[in-house]
Chain A
Amino acid sequence: MIQAKNLSKAYNGTTVLKIDHLEIQKGESFGLVGNNGAGKTTFFSLLLDLIQPTTGEIINSGFRVDQSENWKTVTASFLDESFLIGYLTPEEYFYFIGDLRGQNKADVDALLKKHEEFFNGEILNSKKYIRDFSKGNQKKVGIIATLIGNPEVIILDEPFANLDPTTQFRLKKIIKELADNPEITVLVSSHDLLHTVEVSNRIVALQKGEIVKDIQTSAETLEELERFFAV
């Protein structure tokens, strides 16, 4: 589904990411862990063609991301609040994304209904613009918006940060459900090893821009990762 070849990104001569080869299979639930500055967000930004690779290329769904735009129809992502439109109400935002992804109002409404529990009654009909929401509630809006239009690739950067414990639990349920679907590839990055291990069936650890671990999740994975990061 996604291939990175000879990928590297350098700023002013300092290499912040260097991945010689990485292949993510269709249907995989892929977890990216690492400390601050390890290159997680850089990798996702490259994957979404928001920054230009210094060398190498990324292929998503058969299209080189920096040469074609066709991958956009099957890919949905939420990296940070710059993926939200602050002056819209959540409903308007969802319908806007729906319009862009060829979904009518009824489709979007059905999806929102399904995730009513996740919103915890704080999002819909709240008479507030997204810019006036708390960080956690903004995140809820952004995450659910990525599910609109049945995307095949879903990319979430630090989805657990800023969420309250109950919502974290509910989010794990949502991601696991997506992971169970063989048509959907989920990419999640996180600082939190426990959360990542729970929702991913493959985990890659980055350190200073390089892949230092690439493991299929098993009972021992958490322990292995904890040992690695406990320096």
Chain B
Amino acid sequence: MLEWKSFFRSASFRTNLALKILMVFGAIYFTLIFLFMGIGVFYLIKEELNLDPILVVNRYLIYYILLDLMIRLFLQKIPVMNIRPLLTLPIKKSTIVNFALGKTILSFFNFVHCFFFVPFSIVLVIEGYDIVSIILWHIALMALVYANNFFNILLNNKDYLFLIFIGAVLALGTLQYYGLFDITSYTSVFFQGLFDTKYLFLLPIVLLISLYLITYTYFKKNLHLDTGLSSKHSVAKTEQYTWLNQFGTIGTFLKNDIRLIKRNKRSKTTIFMSVLFLFYGLLFFSGGIESYNNPMMHMFAGIFVTGGFLFTFGQFVPSWDSAYYPLMMTQNIPYKGYLNSKWWLIVIATAVSTVIASFYLYFGLEIYLIIIVGAVYNIGVNSHLVLLGGAFTKTPVDLNSGKGAFGDKKAFNAKTMLISLPKLLLPMIIYALGYYLINPTMGLVLVALTGVLGFALRNKVFTMIEKVYKTEKYKTIDAYKQKG
């Protein structure tokens, strides 16, 4: 009951109709993508590789499960804090624990897997695989996904674990790639067994049940404010970054921005997203998907590969500072220095992404050139547009919650939308014009030139943003007061 109220009364529920429609479309879009992936994977493997899809999927499932756990450790938040007020009410402890754990079952992180596995299973059925085997396999995998859910609760809030997992996955991947040690040859036996035998599926289910019981007893024992329910206080270390002093005001803000990103859950996800975006281009450049394989879409991907940080971080400037905006507004803050610091962060992140993206050279120099040109456009034009758009975004950012990082619905408003259009469409159109009317190289040159031109207009745009900050000041302060 309480949870329903907190759900319905949350601010995001009261967004207007247009946004709701937009959100629904977004949800449908992602569902469809996963659906197509679920269906597509089967035929892709069968036709391209001439292998048995179920064998291949089973082989790599170990990575899938590990990655899932990693993503959860990083993003999924455990709702233990909002049961605090229930402690003193006459409710049995077991009910409270069951309720808190039960709530995590409904998490998006569990459902999203259905979108992949259900269609895949259906395709298997259509293609004449044994129905009972499929159902048992499916149940076993879902049990594993939920086991991850409880693993995450037990391991929650330990950042170093995340690093260990990344290290492990990378190490295993490398060893496998060079043929030194192939973990999949061991684990695929197990996953294949889930499909081939009629009894092995019990193993994941037993695992799931025992994990639930462990979590349950753990929480029941620790259901006190100072043990299980205490919020974790990380040990803080004062970091001075004195080497940044030489940059004057920019350095002052840059220091804070680095700390902001390092020490808050929400901002850490922007780093994670930029890494994801980095690999987004693989969908386009590997030629796997027919409709993506044309110059316009290539430019689209080129912008995205290096623009992950730009889009996820930039759209929330100045919202990142929403928690202490009144402080910023009463101090003698040079807006230019403030903006410059954010801009440099974006530029550095874009440059680093460009260097890391050099693995796209594997697809040929032309592909990497597209990415470099995309980066130039990002730095020259998009960095300014995204900051300008951010000036109109009046969504307070809750730094401590990882939620809402995937496109905050409240961040959409007419002005921001209008400003976002040229971020992607303009370079696509310019590139296509050059590509078809003159030649492919001219397309690249034109986009790069636009980027350089945008760079020249930097001060003009900054003055404009400053003006927006000033005229929207009272509205922004007021909006930031209403906590998400």
Chain A interface residues (CB < 8 Å from chain B): 48-52, 69, 72-73, 75, 77, 79-80, 82-89, 91-92, 95-97, 99-101, 126-129, 131-132
Contact = CB atoms under 8 A, between A and B. Distances in A.
B238 A84 contact: no
Interface in B236-257: 236-240, 249, 252, 255-256
Pairs A-B, 4 closest by C-beta atoms:
A72-B332, A99-B252, A87-B263, A83-B327
Given A91-B238, A92-B239, A132-B233, A82 B324 contact: yes
A172 to B, nearest CB: 24
A72 B330 contact: yes
Contacts of B400: 131
A52 B477 CA distance: 11
B327 A85 contact: yes
Contacts of B474: 50-52
A16 to B, nearest CB: 14
Contact of B330 (A83, A84, A95, A126): A83
Majority SS at the chain A contact face: loop
A127 B236 contact: yes
A84 B325 CA distance: 9
13 contacts: A49-B330, A50-B330, A72-B331, A77-B330, A83-B324, A85-B256, A89-B236, A89-B238, A92-B259, A96-B256, A99-B249, A100-B331, A127-B236
B399 A127 contact: no
Contacts of B249: 99
Interface string B363-377: 000000000000000
Nearest to B335: A69
B330 A87 contact: no
A43 to B, nearest CB: 15
Contacts of A87: 259-260, 263-264, 399
Contact of B259 (A73, A88, A97): A88
Contacts of A80: 326
Interface residues of B, number: 33
Contacts, number: 87
Contacts of B21: none
Nearest to B474: A52
A91 to B, nearest CB: 5
Given A128-B236, A132-B233, A82 B252 contact: no
B235 interface: yes
A82 B326 contact: yes
B327 A48 contact: no
Contacts of B333: 72, 100
A48 B330 contact: yes
B329 interface: yes
Interface string B316-345: 000000011111011111000000000000
Contacts of B264: 87
B95 interface: no
Given A72-B330, A82-B324, A87-B399, A50 B477 contact: yes
Contacts of A52: 474
B234 interface: yes
A90 B383 CA distance: 32
A119 B426 CA distance: 56
A80 B240 CA distance: 26
Contacts of A50: 326, 329-330, 474, 477
A52 B470 CA distance: 12
A96 B237 CA distance: 15
